[in-house]
Amino acid sequence: MYNPTVMDHFENPRNVGEIPDADGIGEVGNLSCGDILKVYVKVVDGKLEDVKYQTFGCGAAVASGSMLTELAKGKTVEEAMKITNNDVAEALNGLPPQKRHCSNLAADALHKALEDWRSKQK
Amino acid sequence: MRKIYMDYSATTPLHPEVIALMTDVMKNVFGNPSSLHSFGREAKKYLDEARQKVADLIGAKFEEIYFTGGGTEADNIAVFGTAYAHRKKGKHIITSAVEHHAVLDSCAKLAKSGFEVTFLPVDQYGMVDPEQVKKEIRSDTILISIMHANNETGTIQPIEEISKIAKEHDVFFHTDCVQSVGKIPVNVDKLGADLITLSSHKIYGPKGVGALYKRKGVRVEPLFYGGGQERKIRSGTENTLGIIGFGKAAEIAVREFDIENTRVKGLRDRLIKGVLEKIPDVRLNGHPEKRLPNNAHFSFAYVEGESLLLSLDMKGIAVSSGSACSSSSLQPSHVLTASGLPQELVHGSVRFTLGRENTEEDVDYVLSVLPGIVERFRSFSPLVGRKTV
């Protein structure tokens, strides 16, 4: 069902866990669909110095969270805001069609985390 | 890598004796059982033998067994066939919220075409209350369909009580015994059903073949029309090879009933005990005692079922899950939802169903890898600490 890249990120998810002193936190998903994904960011000088995630979700959710952290780390906030769920799926060499909507929400969580960070800047 | 199959309620491998017989028949018997010549007569002889064996499996008469293309087809004939044959008498059907989709969706379809269907709720174990069945019966109720044992949780319904109520009110009673037959006693007179669904591939027989038991005198309308096979209930040239395999599987199920079910129940109990001891925040779903002897169904808090399934698969262990993500429909298990399980625990459910080829070593292997897998997912679950089982 899942390709080798997805399985690799599922088996060895990168950057899992929380950042205790995170600058921004974003959570998306709900229990009725079965996937929840939470992203933590550490922003230093406008750059994402650290990105971590936690998930309650299927294989696609675990893998997309992992890939997202890899795509986002080191990027500027502006660049990170441009990362889409589709970018994450493409970086994973694709997800099964039925997983594209419900489980591919890591970028949304990242954007929420960055909005959270922004709201604290004022 | 070690491979352990613990998904016997999904399907079973063919029993070696079934393979041997089917191989022989495949080579030597090809006639159409409806043909009058020697080739046809020989096929008919095998077909009759199989029919007798399936009848013996459930204490039925030879002529009360109608072979079908599987359990789903038998369920459809039972539900639609009864509804259509007795629509002049009434339009009301009673079933439960935890039925297999073959019954549930058939009833839902009838509800869209002029019939009225009551979907009974269940308790926390997925159990139907016979008193509630009684309360819902109306003067125009024509059919009650309640499964014998649930395919997900293994919960065994009080069928004898329900069939008694149906009889008292002169309502036809159908029960889907696809999961129960071969694992717990299924006897037509004890269960008191008018219609019973059976499937071959859950009892080490081939796929694509099942049977409908129809008590003598009960009228159903056929869904297929054609050559009038199976006494017009299921037209179409018989799946002779499959039916012969089914017959053999039925014979073995009778022969090995006691020894095999005692053995499997021992393994299942070892698995349940081990899981509950080794892993915190686990819930055993389904009824603690009134459940199929091969079924262990858990919800692991904070963890999603498809992820568990995939990780177990990587370790060579095959199970299934009621999580939405693991189903093609993306709907979480209707059985667990109807049993009132919180959504998180529905998504975190995993079913282990044991069978012939499992050993104590298999169970111990599962117990050695499962706690680590659950622990790993919990280590990065955002739900930890939010809710408890």
- In the 8-state DSSP scheme, what is residue A35? E
Does residue A102 have an active-site annotation? yes
CA B174 – CA B58 distance, rounded (Å): 14
Residue type at A84 in one-letter notation: T
C-beta of residue B142 within 8 angstroms of C-beta of residue B82? yes
| Domains, chain A, with CATH or none | 4-121 (3.90.1010.10)
CA B320 – CA B183 distance, rounded (Å): 19
CB-based contact A38 B344, cutoff 8 Å:
no
Write down the domain spans for chain B. 4-12+257-379, 16-252
CB-based contact A37 B382, cutoff 8 Å:
yes
Top CATH class, B4-12+257-379:
alpha beta
**pLDDT tens digits along B155-209:** 999 999 999 999 999 999 999 999 999 999 999 999 999 999 999 999 999 999 9
- Which run of H or of E encompasses B297? strand B295-300
B84: which 2 tokens? Answer: 């259509």
Is pLDDT above 90 for A33?
A: no
CA B132 – CA B217 distance, rounded (Å): 28
- Among B299, B308, B347, most A C-beta atoms within 10 A, so best to mutate, is B347
Q: Which is higher by pLDDT, A100 or B253? A: B253
* CA atoms within a 13 Å half-sphere pointing along the CA-CB vector of B81: 25
Is pLDDT above 60 for A112?
A: yes
What is the structure's pLDDT at A121? 87
Q: Which residues contact B177 (CB under 8 A, 6 or more apart)?
A: B58, B147, B148, B149, B186, B191, B196, B197, B198
Q: Closest-CA residue in chain B for A52?
A: B380
Is pLDDT above 80 for B45?
A: yes
Does residue B107 have an active-site annotation? no
> Which residues on adjacent β-strands are paired with residue B297?
B351
**pLDDT tens digits along B131-152:** 999 999 999 999 999 999 999 9
Mean pLDDT in residue range B349-368? 98
Q: Which residues contact B386 (CB under 8 A, 6 or more apart)?
A: none
Which residues of chain B are at the A interface, by a Cβ-Cβ cutoff of 8 Å? 302-304, 306-307, 310, 314, 323-326, 328, 330, 332, 342-344, 347, 379-383
Neighbours of B386 (CB within 10 A): 12
Is pLDDT above 80 for B329?
A: no
What is the structure's pLDDT at A104? 82
C-beta of residue B187 within 8 angstroms of C-beta of residue B58? yes
- The owner of tokens 């925040």 is B281
Which of B238, B237, B188, B181 has the alpha carbon at shortest distance from B204? Answer: B181
CA B76 – CA B212 distance, rounded (Å): 10
Cα-flanking dihedrals φ and ψ of residue B261, to 5°? -70, -35
Q: Closest-CA residue in chain B for A6?
A: B310
What is the structure's pLDDT at A1? 84
Range with the lowest mean pLDDT among A32-36, B34-38, B226-230, B379-383? A32-36
| DSSP letter for each residue of B112-166 | TTT-EEEEE---TTSPPPHHHHHHH--TTEEEEE--SB-TTT-BBP-HHHHHHHH
Which of B282, B314, B294, B269 has the alpha carbon at shortest distance from B355? Answer: B294
Q: pLDDT tier at B300 (50, 70, 90 boundaries)?
A: very high
Q: Are strands B295-300 and B349-353 parallel, antiparallel or unpaired?
A: antiparallel
Which of B136, B120, B218 has the alpha carbon at shortest distance from B169? Answer: B136
Is pLDDT above 70 for B387?
A: no
Any idea of the CA torsion for B369, B370, B372, B374, to the nearest 10 degrees?
Answer: 160
B116: which 2 tokens? Answer: 């009225």
Top CATH class, B16-252:
alpha beta
Max Cα–Cα distance, chain B, nearest Å: 73
B149: which 2 tokens? Answer: 């044992």
**pLDDT tens digits along B265-287:** 999 999 999 999 999 999 999 99
Which residues of chain A make contact with B383, given a CB cutoff of 8 A? 36, 56
What is the structure's pLDDT at B331? 82
Neighbours of A57 (CB within 10 A): 32
The whole-chain average pLDDT of chain B stands at 96
How high is the ipTM of this complex?
Answer: 0.94
Range with the lowest mean pLDDT among A13-27, B189-203, B328-342? B328-342
What is the structure's pLDDT at A98? 81
C-beta of residue B151 within 8 angstroms of C-beta of residue B197? no
Q: Are strands B4-5 and B92-96 parallel, antiparallel or unpaired?
A: unpaired
Range with the lowest mean pLDDT among A97-101, B312-316, B334-338? A97-101
Mean pLDDT in residue range A91-104? 85
CA A19 – CA B36 distance, rounded (Å): 79
Mean pLDDT in residue range B28-32? 97
